[in-house]
Amino acid sequence: MVVDPPETNATVSRELALAYPILADSDLAAVSAYGLREVGGGPDGRDIARSASVLIDRDGIVRWRIVADNFRVRPTPRTVLEAVDALDAPSR
Amino acid sequence: MARTAPLDDASVGLCRAVVQVKSPTGSRPGHDAGKRLAINPPILAFALLARAGYGSARSMEAPNTRSDQPTRRDRAALLGLALGVGGVLAYFLVVFRFAAWMPEVRNRAVPNWILVACGLALSALGVLRARARPARDRGRILAPVLAATNVAVAAAFAWILYGLPALPPVPGPPLGAPAPDFTLTDQSGHNVRLADFHGAPLLLVFYRGHW
């Protein structure tokens, strides 16, 4: 999910051969609903989304999230996979 | 004057570190090789450090060494700055180019900080050696200048990694609550709703944007 328009996302998706959809949230409606609006964080002072990963379970409940406090640091694939595995752990 | 010297311990250690990096013995594909690569830079750096010390000790015996010019005794100071700058440049040249393949290095920069630390240690060694030189010797000034540059580079690296990209906190979605619904357009122009994914786990990744 990103504030860029679908045309930009189509280019990025093609160049990086992404297997998942990129959703355009140009007016930051969903970004704001998820509490991830970063005021003035864009290159021209516009609002953008904070880097974040949110894991939603089969019932539509938010079960895990990582919100960046440093835009250089992102969760590793292993961290995300462990969170996905924990979704189905019996001790929930 | 040609001189032959027996291989000292430091040189042997250096060769061993390089060989280990290039051809991990008994390596299994994937994980193991990566681990070995991650462990070897410190060995390599330590061997280089020891080699620098040995080289400058030998140069003290060398005849016709003009003390008013930077000599092999400055090797520790020069190598220290090279390691420090190399560790920082490697982060930007390698990690930003191949960040997807080395997320841990991108996030934590551990190999780079090891290189910078070894470089700073060598710089300190260079300064200590320079203090032992005659008062009018240019090397007395060179080593501290190189060391100060090295410290400045390390400080700038720390600021670029931890100061510059630091962001004020945002709340994020509350855990245990229903995820807010949305209808958004994907890269092909189709509308996508959160409800479309009901019944399967869904990972939503929020990106800053493409610029």
Per-residue pLDDT tens over the stretch B39-55: 566 666 666 666 655 55
B118 lies in which domain range? 9-59+72-163
Contact A42 B174 (CB under 8 A): no
pLDDT for residue A47: 86
Contact B180 A33 (CB under 8 A): yes
Q: What share of chain B is helix, strand, coil (3-state, %, to 5)?
A: 60, 5, 35
Chain B residues with beta carbon closer than 8 angstroms to that of A71: 165, 167, 208
DSSP code for B182: -
Q: Report phi then psi at A69, rounded to 5.
A: -110, 10
CA separation, residue B187 to residues A32, B178, B182, B191, B209 (Å): 21, 26, 16, 10, 14
List B10's β-bridge partners, or say none.
none
Count the domains in chain B: 1
Instruction: Look at residue B207 and tell me whether its pLDDT is greater than 60.
Output: yes
Contact A8 B176 (CB under 8 A): no
In chain B, whose CA is at the least distance from the CA of A77?
B103
Span A45-84, pLDDT tens digits: 888 888 899 999 888 889 999 998 888 788 888 888 888 8
Q: Contact at 8 Å (CB) between B110 and B104?
A: yes
Give the β-pairing of B191-193 and B183-185: antiparallel
Does any domain span residue B155?
yes
What tokens appear for B173 in the block?
């979605």
Contact A22 B192 (CB under 8 A): no
Q: Mean pLDDT in chain B?
A: 73
In chain B, whose CA is at the least distance from the CA of A25?
B184
| Euclidean distance between CA atoms A83 and A91, whole angstroms | 13
Contact A25 B182 (CB under 8 A): yes
Does any domain span residue B43?
yes
Interface confidence (ipTM) of the complex: 0.88
Chain B residues with beta carbon closer than 8 angstroms to that of A74: 103, 106-107
Quote the percentage of chain B above a pLDDT of 70. 62
In chain B, whose CA is at the least distance from the CA of A83?
B203
DSSP annotation string for B17-77:
HHHHHHS-TTPPTTHHHHHHHHHHHHHHHHHHHHHHHHHHHHHTT-TT--TTS--GGGHHH
Does any domain span residue B211?
no
pLDDT band at residue B63 under the 50/70/90 scheme: very low
Residues contacting residue B87 through CB under 8 Å, at least 6 positions apart = B111, B112, B113, B114, B115, B116, B119, B157
pTM for the complete prediction? 0.64
Q: In which element (H, E) is residue A78 found? A: helix A77-87
Chain B residues with beta carbon closer than 8 angstroms to that of A80: 203
Does any domain span residue B169?
no
